[in-house]
Amino acid sequence: MDSFSFRNGELFAENVPVRDIAARAGTPCFVYSRATLEDHYDRLVHAFRAIDPLVCYSIKSCPNLGVLRVLAERGAGMDAVSGGELFRAKSAGVPLSKCVYAGVGKTDAEIRYAIENGLGAAGGLGLFNCESEEEFENIARIARGLNATVRVALRINPDVDPKTHRYTSTGKKETKFGVDLERARRFFATYGRDPHARLEGLHLHIGSPIYTVDPYREAMTKTAALVDELARDGFEIHSIDLGGGFGADYESAQSPPLKDYADAIVPLAKPLYDRGVRFILEPGRTIVANAGILVLSVLYTKTSGDKRFVICDAGMNALLRPSHYGSFHFMWPVAPGVDMTPARRTLDPKLPDTMAQDVVGPLCETGDFLALDRVLPASIGRGDLLAVFTAGAYGMSMASRYNSSPLPAEVLVSGTSAEIVRRRETFDTLVEHELKPIALELPAHEAPKLEAAR
Ligand SMILES: Cc1ncc(COP(=O)(O)O)c(C=O)c1O
C-alpha cells in the first residue's frame, strides 16, 4: 500500500520518524514517499506491460516538481490540463512532446504555448485531447497561424457510470467533458482531414476514483467499437488514451490491485495494440494518493454539548476532500505508543480508550472539518501530531489560502533522508502580489448618464 508504517509506537515515512520531519519542517506539512511513488509507477507499468502504455502522470493530482521529477526519472510522460501544468511538466524536465493536454477551456495563449513547445508535434508521443468542435477549430486555426501541424485526440464520453462521487463522474453523456459517441463520428467526418490539426486519437476519462473494473470494461468495449466504425468511415485511430481513475487505499486494501484493472482492460485493448494502436494512461491518484500524508499539530481540544473537538492547525484549507466530497481519510496520532498502534486503517481500528471526535481546522467555517465523529484515542491533546493518510492526491493541489492561511510545506522522503520540496509560505507570500497597485491604462470614455428609473 505505502511506506508509512508504525514502528515501536511511532509513525515512520520510509525510514524517517515523522516526528523528526515535523520538528524540522513544521506543520501543517505534506510528506511524500519516493519509494511509494516509484513502487506504484512500476506496478502500473508491469500490470499493463502487454500493451506497453505511455504512462502520463496526471499533474493535477499532486503537481509538486519533486514528485514530477521522481516519476519523470522513471520514464513517465505527463497529463496536463492547463498552461500552468504544462509549465510544471517542462520545469520538471519532461518535454511537452511527451505530454497530453486535456481541459474543456484551453485559452488561445495556452494552446499557442503548447504548440510552440512541441506538444502534439509529429514524431512525439503527446497529443492535444480536444473536448469540443469549437476548441478543435481554435487549435487548428492557431496551428495554421504558427505553420505547425499537431496531433489531436478527440475526448469521448462513452456514457459509462463509474459509480463514484457525482462531482468526479466525467464520462456520462451529460457531463461537460468531451463529446458523446454519436457526435464523435460526425466530428471525424467534419474535421478528420484537417491538415494542421491531425485527428488521430481517442481520449476518455470516465471518473475517479473507480473501485470496480466493470466501468473500464464497458468503456473499452465501446471505444473499440468506435475505432471500428471510424475505420469503416475511413479514419484510422493511432492512439487511445484511457485516462485515469484507478483507486487508492483510503482504508486498508480498499482498492483492487492494479493487475485487476489490467486484467479487465488488456484483453480488449490487445487486439488494437497488435494493429499498431498506441495506448496512454493518465493515472494520478493510484500513484500519489498513498504516497503522501498530511501532518498536523493539535492546537486545542474542547467539548461542546456532547461533542469533543480536536482543533488542528489546518483543515479544509490543506485537505479539501472531506468537506468537498465527504471523503474518508484515515488519521491517527503520529506517536500513539505501542498499545495504541492501529492494525488497519479503517473507520474504527478497535483499540481501547478511544472515543468519537470531530477533527476540525482553524477556519471560520462549520464545513472546515477533516473527520466527523471519528474514533480516535481519547487521550489526544494539545501539542500532539496527527497524520492524515492517503493525502498525496488532491491534497496540496486543492489547498487554498482561505482565511489568509499560508500554504503548507511539502517534504519528500527518500529512504533515510528528507528534503523540503516546497517551502512553507509566509505572511509576505500572502501579500506579495498586492503590495503595489498598478494603474490600468483604460481608454478615455465619458460615463453614460444614469437613466431615470421607470
Ligand atoms: C482527464 C483526466 N485524466 C486523468 C485524471 C486523473 O485521475 P486519477 O487521479 O483518478 O487517476 C483526471 C482527474 O480528474 C482527469 O480529469
Do 156 and 262 have their domain in common? yes
Q: CB of 345 closer than 6 A to ligand 1? A: no
CA nearest ligand 1 atom 12, residue = 244
Range(s) of the domain holding residue 92: 48-287
* 22 in a structural domain: no
- The pLDDT value given to residue 185: 95
Nearest of 346, 370, 369 to residue 249 by alpha carbon: 346
Q: CB of 243 closer than 6 A to ligand 1? A: yes
Q: What is the average pLDDT across 149-171?
A: 82
* pLDDT of 173 over the 70 cut: no
The residue from 257, 287, 317 where one domain ends is 287
* 300 in a structural domain: yes
* 228 in a structural domain: yes
Q: CB of 61 closer than 6 A to ligand 1? A: yes
Split into its structural domains, the chain has a count of 2
Q: What is the average pLDDT across 409-418?
A: 98
Q: What is the average pLDDT across 177-196?
A: 94
Q: CB of 66 closer than 6 A to ligand 1? A: no
CA nearest ligand 1 atom 10, residue = 245
- The pLDDT value given to residue 453: 65
CA of 8 to the centre of ligand 1 (A): 37
| Substitution candidate for ligand 1 out of 40, 282, 324 with most atoms within 8 A of CB | 282
For the chain, percent of residues with pLDDT exceeding 90:
92
* 432-450 pLDDT, tens digit each: 999 999 999 999 888 888 7
* 312-354 pLDDT, tens digit each: 999 999 999 999 999 999 999 999 999 999 999 999 999 999 9
Q: Which atom of ligand 1 is nearest to the CA of 129?
A: 1
Res. 162 pLDDT band, cuts 50 70 90: confident
Do 204 and 296 have their domain in common? no
* 3 in a structural domain: no
Do 158 and 227 have their domain in common? yes
User: Residue 341 belongs to a domain with what CATH number?
Assistant: 2.40.37.10
Residue among 29, 56, 99, 364 flagged as catalytic: 364
CA nearest ligand 1 atom 3, residue = 243
Do 238 and 298 have their domain in common? no
Q: CB of 285 closer than 6 A to ligand 1? A: yes
Q: Which atom of ligand 1 is nearest to the CA of 103?
A: 1
* 203 in a structural domain: yes
CA of 444 to the centre of ligand 1 (A): 46
Q: CB of 198 closer than 6 A to ligand 1? A: no
CA of 61 to the centre of ligand 1 (A): 7
- The pLDDT value given to residue 79: 98
Res. 178 pLDDT band, cuts 50 70 90: confident
Q: How far apart are CA 280 and CA 138, in angstroms?
A: 24
**Mean pLDDT, the chain, as a whole number?**
95
CA of 195 to the centre of ligand 1 (A): 30
* 270-300 pLDDT, tens digit each: 999 999 999 999 999 999 999 999 999 999 9
Q: Which cell numbers hold the place of 223? A: 471505444
* 122 in a structural domain: yes
- The pLDDT value given to residue 169: 64
* pLDDT of 5 over the 70 cut: yes
Helix (H, G, I), strand (E, B) or coil at 116: helix
Q: CB of 102 closer than 6 A to ligand 1? A: yes
312 is an active site residue: no
Q: Which cell numbers hold the place of 51? A: 500493451
Q: CB of 169 closer than 6 A to ligand 1? A: no
* pLDDT of 65 over the 70 cut: yes
Do 231 and 192 have their domain in common? yes
Res. 90 pLDDT band, cuts 50 70 90: very high
The residue from 228, 262, 287 where one domain ends is 287
Do 205 and 336 have their domain in common? no
- The pLDDT value given to residue 450: 79
* pLDDT of 171 over the 90 cut: no
Do 283 and 369 have their domain in common? no
CA of 206 to the centre of ligand 1 (A): 9
Nearest of 298, 344, 327, 347 to residue 391 by alpha carbon: 327
Q: CB of 79 closer than 6 A to ligand 1? A: yes
Phi, psi torsion values for 36, nearest 5 degrees: -70, -40
Res. 161 pLDDT band, cuts 50 70 90: confident
Q: What is the average pLDDT across 245-251?
A: 97
| Substitution candidate for ligand 1 out of 40, 54, 58 with most atoms within 8 A of CB | 58
* 436 in a structural domain: no
The answer for residues whose C-beta is within 8 angstroms of residue 93's C-beta and 6 or more apart is 69, 72
Nearest of 34, 10, 50 to residue 269 by alpha carbon: 50
* 213 in a structural domain: yes
In order of 132, 137, 158, 190, the CA distances from 183 in angstroms are: 10, 15, 11, 10
CA of 58 to the centre of ligand 1 (A): 6
Nearest of 413, 410, 430, 431 to residue 421 by alpha carbon: 410
* pLDDT of 61 over the 70 cut: yes
Q: How far apart are CA 220 and CA 451, in angstroms?
A: 60
CA of 338 to the centre of ligand 1 (A): 38
* pLDDT of 45 over the 90 cut: yes
Helix (H, G, I), strand (E, B) or coil at 339: helix
- The pLDDT value given to residue 274: 98
User: Residue 203 belongs to a domain with what CATH number?
Assistant: 3.20.20.10
* pLDDT of 177 over the 90 cut: no
- The pLDDT value given to residue 172: 64
Give me the DSSP letters along 311-337. Answer: EES-STTT--HHHHH-----EEESS--
Q: CB of 244 closer than 6 A to ligand 1? A: yes
Do 226 and 363 have their domain in common? no
* pLDDT of 420 over the 70 cut: yes
Do 168 and 199 have their domain in common? yes
* pLDDT of 124 over the 90 cut: no
**Is 151 in contact with 127 (CB distance < 8 Å)?**
yes
* pLDDT of 168 over the 70 cut: no
Do 255 and 399 have their domain in common? no
Strand partners, 294: 30, 388
Do 338 and 203 have their domain in common? no
- The pLDDT value given to residue 175: 72
* 125-158 pLDDT, tens digit each: 899 999 999 999 999 999 999 999 999 999 999 9
DSSP state of 207: B
